[in-house]
């Protein structure tokens, strides 16, 4: 992630899942091809407020990194829509 000063929110937009929770529903034997925990570590280290990913078409929509960052799987088959709106902030 780029170093950004004075931004209101940081959103990590990635293809692969950073956590196993949003892969639930997928066959466990293909988890290594759908994501990597190292992505979650980077998201936590960079202080993201939200992480969005796709790729896991049978997974779950919501999860949280070990550091507490909300993760959303926005693959179209998961959210059952062409788009989704997520709020940031309190």
pLDDT at 5 over 70: no
With a pLDDT cut of 70, the percent of the chain lying above it is 90
Q: How many CA atoms lie within 13 A of 34 on its CB side?
A: 23
Domain coordinates in residue numbering, the chain = 11-79
Compute the C-alpha angle 52/65/87, nearest 5°: 45
* Closest among 16, 56, 61 to 40, alpha carbons compared: 16
pLDDT at 71: 98
Model confidence band, residue 90 (pLDDT cutoffs 50, 70, 90): low
The span from the CA of 59 to the CA of 48, in Å, is 22
pLDDT at 2 (0 to 100) = 57
Longest dimension (CA), the chain: 42
The per-residue pLDDT for range 45-86, each reduced to its tens digit, is 999 999 999 999 999 999 999 999 999 999 999 999 999 998
């Amino acid at each position: 992630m780029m170093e950004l000063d004075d931004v209101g929110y940081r959103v990590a937009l990635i293809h692969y899942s950073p956590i196993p929770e949003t892969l639930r529903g997928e066959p466990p034997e293909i988890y290594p091809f759908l994501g990597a925990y190292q992505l979650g570590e980077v998201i936590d280290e960079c202080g993201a407020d939200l992480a969005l990913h796709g790729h896991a078409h049978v997974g779950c929509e919501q999860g949280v990194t070990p550091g507490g960052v909300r993760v959303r799987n926005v693959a179209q088959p998961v959210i059952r829509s062409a788009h989704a709106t997520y709020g940031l902030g309190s």
